[in-house]
Structure 1
Amino acid sequence: MKKIVIMSDNHGDQSMIDYVKEQEQGADYFVHCGDSEAYDIRVLEGFICVKGNNDWSLDLPKEARLNVEGVPIFITHGQYFGYFNRELVMNDLLTRHHCRVLISGHTHMPMFEKDGDFYYINPGSTTLPRGGSDRSYGVLLIDNGKLDFRLKKIQK
């Protein structure tokens, strides 16, 4: 079994990055979906990171890929999905990149949805939640191709 810790949208509050690392010691992977606005990039060491729409000064890729136990995962911030036909655009992205799981942020609202063979995951925001959600991050467990996602509420 592999454990992937996912966070997004801490918007300059670097203490959230340290908090998530401390809470989830022993994770196999740490993923940051963008808008860290890190003023010291070293705080993201050990994370697979993508650039968010507010990460102007950070030299990060717009997307990343990860393959965990044979499960292909696509990671991006999510600012290009829009609000109309969002799932259709996400489905197309996964299809084009031959991935099963999409991990993204941007909306500041948690999501875990299954659509056929595809999974859409958003950990919400560790700092500025929206839509009535709590400050959060996520933990994705992959065991022999089976996925289990747990949303973790920030208790700080």
Structure 2
Amino acid sequence: MKLFFISDIHGSLYFLEKALEAYKKEKADHLIILGDALYHGPRNPLPKDYKPKEVASLLNAYKEKIIAVRGNCDGEVDQMMLDYPMMGDYSIILYNNRKLFLTHGHIFNKEHLPNLCENDVLIHGHTHIPVAQKLDTIYLLNPGSITLPKGNNPNSYGILEDDLFEIKDLERKIIKSIKL
């Protein structure tokens, strides 16, 4: 199973289209959205091609393939626009005898870890900075942001396949990777 991770779309139709092109080229089985899909948020600038209604419509076309969690910029009004559930603060996927704890990162993160077992994985967005590291007995992953990257990082997404997590820029160049 191949999983495709994006976070922090923030209503940018331009960058969502770029990410979905990569999703198709990667031939991933599922699209995992780690929050902040439609709204740019009061602390962020308006992103390129800011069109939340069109972003919602485009994401709805993939509703059968999407697993999503709520970000700090997501609200009930966003859920009204989307045809897949996205209001949970976290979701859990069982993957190759380990738990993947999916969340946005504003509640659960490196400083406030959920209950995880050895070799489980915390995957979140929110910081807009790509991370692929082992933290004590668990893995901490962040695909970065497809729309508003920080720290001089490129717009990026994550891929998990065969216990290898890769963070790639929108041209599919590997930025970081880690074997789980």
Q: TM-score range by the shorter chain?
A: 0.7 to 0.9
Alpha-carbon contact 1:73-1:99 (below 8 Å) kept: no
Task: Give runs of aligned pairs for residues 85-104 of structure 1, distance below 5 A.
Answer: 87-90=110-113, 93-95=114-116, 100-104=120-124
Partner Cα distance (2:89, 2:110) in 1: 19
- TM-score between the two structures when normalised by the length of structure 2: 0.70
- TM-score between the two structures when normalised by the length of structure 1: 0.80
Alpha-carbon contact 1:74-1:99 (below 8 Å) kept: no
Partner Cα distance (1:98, 1:30) in 2: 25
Alpha-carbon contact 1:138-1:152 (below 8 Å) kept: yes
Matched letter for residue 102 of structure 2 = I
Matched letter for residue 110 of structure 2 = E
Alpha-carbon contact 2:119-2:139 (below 8 Å) kept: no
Matched letter for residue 34 of structure 1 = G
Alpha-carbon contact 2:12-2:147 (below 8 Å) kept: yes
Please report how far the alpha carbon of residue 132 of structure 1 lies from its aligned counterpart in structure 2 after TM superposition.
1.4
Matched letter for residue 60 of structure 2 = R
The residue aligned with 1:52 is: 71
The residue aligned with 2:176 is: none
SS at match of 1:19: helix
The residue aligned with 1:74 is: 101
Matched, 1:150 2:151: no
Alpha-carbon contact 1:65-1:74 (below 8 Å) kept: yes
* Structure 2 portions without partners, runs of 5+: 39-51, 80-85, 173-180
Q: Deviations over 1:55-110 (max 9, x none)?
A: 122232221111122221111101125xxxx53422xx042x88801110000001
The residue aligned with 1:6 is: 5
Please report how far the alpha carbon of residue 21 of structure 1 lies from its aligned counterpart in structure 2 after TM superposition.
2.8
Q: Deviations over 1:10-35 (max 9, x none)?
A: 10013433332322332122111000
Q: 1:31 to 1:101 in 2, by over 3 A?
A: same
Please report how far the alpha carbon of residue 133 of structure 1 lies from its aligned counterpart in structure 2 after TM superposition.
0.9
* Structure 1 portions without partners, runs of 5+: none
- Of 134, 144, 150, which residue of structure 1 is paired with 2:154? 134
Matched letter for residue 136 of structure 1 = S
Please report how far the alpha carbon of residue 140 of structure 1 lies from its aligned counterpart in structure 2 after TM superposition.
1.5
The residue aligned with 1:123 is: 143
Matched, 1:107 2:106: no
Partner Cα distance (1:117, 1:89) in 2: 15
RMSD between superposed Cα atoms in Å:
2.4
Partner Cα distance (1:119, 1:5) in 2: 17
